[in-house]
Amino acid sequence: MTRTRIADIAYYLGEDWVDWKVVRNSGGNEISSSRNILTTSKPLRCTKCNRAFETKAPISGTRLSNGILPSDIFARVPLNRGECGMCDG
């Protein structure tokens, strides 16, 4: 996600939704370079380990996988609950 896109989100949702310290410390213009992955779910919070995660599927295939989202960004974001399948809890 580029800083421009984050600025768009800040404009529509409000400045309090963006942690600009994290954005500034990410380095470069791109925050994430997952161009070959299609996100297939909204972010969720695991009912067992309490980490934020999302389900992803590669564009070239149909195998789904879960990925943990950055805790410094999603720590205070209210999310629906689900099971990540990656924790021991």
Q: Taking residues 82-88, what's their average pLDDT?
A: 87
pLDDT (0 to 100) of residue 66: 84
Per the prediction, the chain carries an average pLDDT of: 75
Q: Please report the DSSP string for 4-72 in residue order.
A: HHHHHHHHHH-GGG--HHHHHHT-SSBS---TTEEE-S--EEETTT--EEEEEEETT----EEEEPPHH
pLDDT surpasses 70 at 46? yes
- 33 pLDDT band (50/70/90 cuts)? very low
Q: How far apart are CA 44 and CA 20, in angstroms?
A: 22
pLDDT (0 to 100) of residue 32: 47
Q: What are phi and psi of 56, to 5 degrees?
A: -125, 155
What is the residue whose two structure tokens read 């580029």?
2
